Structure formats: structure tokens, C-alpha cells
Structure 1
Amino acid sequence: MTIRVIGAGFGRTGTASLKAALEALGFDKCYHMTEVFAHPADAKIWRGAALGQPVNWDALFVGYQATVDWPSCTFYRVLMVQYPEAKVILTVRDPEKWYASALQTIYQVRFTFPTTVMRHIIPMLRAVLGMQDVVFWQGTFHGRFADKAYAIEVFNRHNDAVKQFVPPERLLVYEVSQGWEPLCKFLNVPVPADQPFPHVNDAAEFQQRITQRLHLLQRVLGAVLFVIAGLITVGWRMRARTRQAKIGS
């Protein structure tokens, strides 16, 4: 098994829908940012790749036939060399809508409480968020994603670079709103009969899912702080009693 499809589009361009579509077409499994959360040890590998360290791509992608979304889209050129038979799909979207979606979802989650607090407590979260910082928040957007004009400029520049670098016969510039036809034609596979194209992970769905997770994190954080406060209180009382005992003696 080897990588047959390389997704070069940024996150929030329909990459979750493309992942579901590719897997439905037999290109499974498909590596997506969600895989890093499921396998947080991968975060160290991606971070190392961004810092120029060698990567055993075949080992990383054992069991996968496709890649989409961050962090892999950042390395589409390297992956094209590693997998010369793989086709490249550039998912695109109206830049204004892309920015609004990314700002309201992945950026908002990354830089809001309790995520910023929990990353210092939960090693898995620290590893994954640290990788994201190195690969795209800093590595791609140079810490300026909140600057809308700059972020959109980076987005457009990336898409133009992909179009210029990838040979036309190897590239599909694709909007998930186009559905099955162009995707199946490009991949030389039949259009699934009686199966609607998957449209998943829109902003509303993302917000609902993340809200649930943030509430869970808040409960965990509350429990952790409660335990810490309890330990501090116990320690303070024991220390006070020890002092009183010394004074009494």
C-alpha cells in the first residue's frame, strides 16, 4: 500500500469532505489532521519535518492511501517526490469564506481559553498544538493569521504555487461543491451509484463539536484545579500544625 492521492489544499477548504469522499472511493485510509489527534506521537514527526529533520514517510503512512489537510498539505512537494505516481488534488474555496471559516473554527479554538491553559497540563494537547504552531500558525502564516489581508495573501500565494509546481496532468483543482464527477474522472474511478457526495465538518458542525469538547476540557480543568487547591490547602494546614507544634514544644 502506498500514497496514491496527495491533498495540497489548506484546511477549511473542504478537506474533511474530501477525506470522506476518497475513502468512499476506495482510497482508504486518508490521512487528515484528525489523525494527529488520534495518534499524537505523529505530532513530533510533523514538527521535525517542518524543522528540516528527515522523515520516514512510508512508516508514517502505513495503512494510508491518501493525504489531505494540514499538516501534510504543507509538504506536498516532498510527498510528490516520495510518491511520484500519486495524483495531487488542490481543494480551493472563495478566499473570504475560507478565512471566515478558519478564523471561526480552528484559529478560535487554538487561541481561546481553556485550550491555552490545558496545553500546559495535557501532554498530548501540548504536542499537537505545538506542532500546529511550527507547521502552519508560525511556519505558514508567520504568526499573522489574525491579519486577514495577510492570511488571504498567503492562502492565494499557496494555491498559485501549487498550480505552477504540479504538472497539469497530475493536478485537479477542485471545489467540493462540484461533487463526484470531476473527482471520479480525475481518479479514473466510477461515480458511486445512489451515494450522495459527503459534505461534512461545516462551520456549524465544527462549532458544535468543539463546543462539546471545550466544555469537557473546562470540566477537566476545573477538576484539576480543585485537586491542586485541595493539595495546597492540606499542605498549608500541615505546615501550620507543624509550626504550632514546634512553638508548643
Structure 2
Amino acid sequence: MALEVIGAGLGRTATFTLKFALEHIGFGPCYHMVENFKGARRNVPLWLDAIDGKPDWDAIFEGYRSTTDYPACTYWRELSEYYPDAKVILTQRDPDSWFDSVSETIFSQAMNSRLPESPFGNLMKGAVFGPFNGGDIADRAFMTDWFVRRNREVIDTIAPERLLVFEPKEGWAPLCAFLGVPVPAEPFPRVNSRDELGAASDEKGGLPPDPADLEVFAEGYLAELQAKAFPAS
């Protein structure tokens, strides 16, 4: 199965919302960072190979129709070339708002404190923090400037007919028109995982470094967000 949709937006740009939206309109399963958590013992070694310049994209995305979030978004260029028929979606948000969000969650010391010596820590170092080239992730000016320049690079690189620049507040209409599918009757999912992610990792004292524990953590976290994305009427 070849990828049909590549999410180029960085983590904390409503990538979980996009995951659930894509799955709801027929482009699932969608590969999100949580998939690494869920299948850490299988997936982390594959991503470490990709970081080392030996990617097996077909193995990584076996069974998936779309991607969003880290670590795939770091490789938007490589994936767009490897899957030339896939469409690309760039989720965006205000740069300062993005900086506030990543600083409190996926880039926070509290969340990452237990990871440096684990395999998942190496994945974070290579695929998430690596693109900053040693820049200070606590420096607002540096990070927001990098955010803007990086997103502009996506826009300037991907052919316009292949790219959707998207903010979730726009709802179903532009997403469904871009992908050529009907607009669902259900409201567009509104998932803000900032509080849930912080609370879940705080309860564990940071993300679990043991892959088996990380998989258990991910299952509960994903189930909680799925229930909020499309609550039962």
C-alpha cells in the first residue's frame, strides 16, 4: 500500500486532529508519532535506520494510507519524492502559539527527561531535534523564525496542485475538496491534546523509556483522544 497523503506539518499544529479527520474520511490508518509509541519495539529501529540514511519507507508505513506529525513530517521532502502520487498537507498555526505549545509538551524537559539513554531518545534526537542544527529550542526568536522558514520551504517546494496549506478552523470543506471526498455529516474533530499529553506524561514522570511501557502508555493516550475526536451523540 502506497501512502496517499503526507502530513508535512510539524508536531503541535493540530496533527492529531488531522489524523482523526483523515481516518474518518477514508484515508486511514494514519501514521502519527503515537504509532511509534504503540509499536515501539518494531518501529523505533526502523526509524533509527532512516535517521542513519537507510530508510525502508515501505516497511515503516506498511498498512498505512497517510501520515501526520513527527517523525514523518521531518522527512516530508523524501516522502513526497518516494510517493510521487501522494498529496501533501501542511498544517499551520501562529508561530508564537506553536512555540508555546511545543515548549510545554514535546520539547519540554519534563517530558523528555527519561529518554536520552533509550532508543526512543535517539529517535527524538535525530528526527525531531536534529533539524534545528544545534539551535536553542528554548529561544523563542530562533524557533519561530525557523518555523516560518521551514514551512515556507514546503510551500515553495511542493507543486501547488499537490499541496494543501490547512488550519483546522477551516473545517471539513477545504480538506475534503482537496482529497476529492464528500463532506461528512459529523462535526470536524476538535482535539487539543496539549493538556492530555502533559498530564499523561507527568503522571509517569515523563515518557516511559522502556518500549513495552511506552506501548501501553500510547494505547491509553490514543483511546482517550479518539473518544474526544468523535464523541458518541
Fold conserved (TM > 0.5)? yes
1:101 deviation in Å? 0.5
Which residues of 2 match residues 1-249 of structure 1 at below 5 A? 1-40=1-40, 41-52=42-53, 54-108=54-108, 111-112=109-110, 115-117=112-114, 120=117, 126-140=118-132, 142-193=134-185, 195-214=186-205
Q: Which amino acid aligns with 2:51?
A: A
Note if contact 1:133-1:139 (Cα within 8 Å) is conserved in structure 2. Answer: no
Note if contact 1:141-1:154 (Cα within 8 Å) is conserved in structure 2. Answer: no
Q: Which amino acid aligns with 2:110?
A: T
1:8-47: CA deviation from partner (whole Å, max 9, x where unpaired) = 0100000000000000011111001111111223223223
Q: 1:106 to 1:215 in 2, by over 3 A?
A: closer
Note if contact 1:4-1:27 (Cα within 8 Å) is conserved in structure 2. Answer: yes
Q: Which amino acid aligns with 1:202?
A: S
> Relative to structure 2, which stretch is displaced further, 40-49 or 160-169?
40-49
1:78 deviation in Å? 1.0
1:119-164: CA deviation from partner (whole Å, max 9, x where unpaired) = 54xxxxx111211111121333525211111111111111000000
Highest Rg: 1 or 2? 1
Q: Which amino acid aligns with 1:207?
A: G
Higher helix share: 1
| Structure of higher RCO (CA pairs closer than 8 Å, 6+ residues apart) | 2
Q: 1:163 to 1:215 in 2, by over 3 A?
A: closer
* Paired residues, number: 207
| Identity between Structure 1 and Structure 2 (%) | 43
> Relative to structure 2, which stretch is displaced further, 204-213 or 31-40?
204-213
Q: 1:148 to 1:216 in 2, by over 3 A?
A: closer
Q: Distance in 1 between matches of 2:207 and 2:165?
A: 38
> Gaps (5+ residues) in structure 2?
209-233
Q: 1:39 to 1:100 in 2, by over 3 A?
A: same
Note if contact 1:184-1:191 (Cα within 8 Å) is conserved in structure 2. Answer: yes
Note if contact 2:17-2:191 (Cα within 8 Å) is conserved in structure 1. Answer: yes
1:34-83: CA deviation from partner (whole Å, max 9, x where unpaired) = 1111122322322332232x222112111100011111011111111111
Q: Distance in 2 between matches of 1:183 and 1:62?
A: 24
Q: Distance in 2 between matches of 1:215 and 1:76?
A: 28
Q: 1:141 to 1:150 in 2, by over 3 A?
A: farther
Other structure's SS at 1:107 match: coil
- Could you state the TM-score of these two structures normalised by the residue count of structure 2? 0.83
Q: Distance in 2 between matches of 1:168 and 1:160?
A: 13
Q: Distance in 1 between matches of 2:206 and 2:36?
A: 21
Q: 1:63 to 1:117 in 2, by over 3 A?
A: closer
Q: 1:186 to 1:117 in 2, by over 3 A?
A: closer
